[in-house]
Amino acid sequence: MRSPTDRSHDAIEELIAADALDGLDEVGRRELLRMRSLHGADCAVCLRLEADYAEVASELAMSLDPIALSPGATERLLRQVQDVPPVGLSPDKEPLPSNVRPMASREGAAGRVRRWMAVAAVAAAVALVGGGLVGYSLAPRGTNSQQLVAFLAQPGARVVNFIPSGSQQLAVALHAGDHRVWVLGSHLDTPASGKVYELWFLPASGGP
């Protein structure tokens, strides 16, 4: 059973990670300062988290230049996904995958989702990219910071940034030969109640 201290560090970790990427609003920033003061300036766990997320932010800042989708990629993708349900769902089934939780049911959903979408290391999801067209529902899955730090530390790990839309940004961390990728987003709009973001990947020569 997780102790109250563990749960407290889970909460502050979200804030520390978002702050490393300038993803906190004024309310979130005040909450981080309040919780950090309660933990104390010499809290070893907090200091480690701050160092880890600073390293992740640095890795992202030094990643590859943004790349654009190939001409017509959006139209091709939309045509192909019209009748394809996301992985783990079928057209005649209502239940969501076990890792997807309705947004409206989560305490402080709007604020927590905004923070989560601003955090690279509190992962959006690990998408399993196989052959063909893959869709994966994106929703908070807990704290995976150490996994992401370890992933980015591998020789040859890359972070590909897509061209941002306004303040919204999306990137994918990948490693040649590994079937997992990390999907990283910031400043994305909060999904409507009961909705989640989805990532679609279309492997094709010259494709997106």
Q: Are residues 95 and 30 in the same domain?
A: no
Same domain, 38 and 15: yes
Which structural domain, as residue segments, surrounds residue 25?
4-61
Q: Is residue 188 over pLDDT 50? A: yes
Q: What is the DSSP string of 160-185?
A: EEBPPBTTBEEEEEE-TT-SEEEEEE
Q: Are 160 and 175 in contact (CB under 8 A)?
A: no
Rounded Cα distance, 33 and 44, in Å: 16
- Alpha helices (H) along the chain: 4-20, 26-39, 44-61, 73-81, 109-117, 145-153
**Looking at the structure, do residues 44 and 144 belong to the same domain, yes or no?**
no
Please indicate, yes or no, whether residues 20 and 87 belong to a single structural domain of this protein.
Answer: no
Same domain as 51, residue 102: no
Residue 67 lies in a domain: no
Residue entry with tokens 């978002």: 18
**Number of domains observed in the structure of the chain:** 2
pLDDT tens sequence across 6-17: 557 877 887 887
What is the rounded CA–CA span in Å between residue 185 and residue 137?
A: 14
81 and 46 together in one domain: no
pLDDT tens per residue across span 15-37? 887 787 777 778 888 999 999 99
Report the share of the chain in percent with pLDDT over 90: 5
Q: For residue range 75-91, list pLDDT tens digits in order.
A: 665 555 454 444 444 44
Q: What is the mean pLDDT of residues 64-76?
A: 57
CB atoms within 10 A of CB 24: 22
Report yes or no on 68 lying in a domain: no
Do 97 and 51 share a domain, yes or no? Answer: no
Boundary residue ending a domain (38, 61, 84): 61
- Same domain for 11 and 90, yes or no, is no
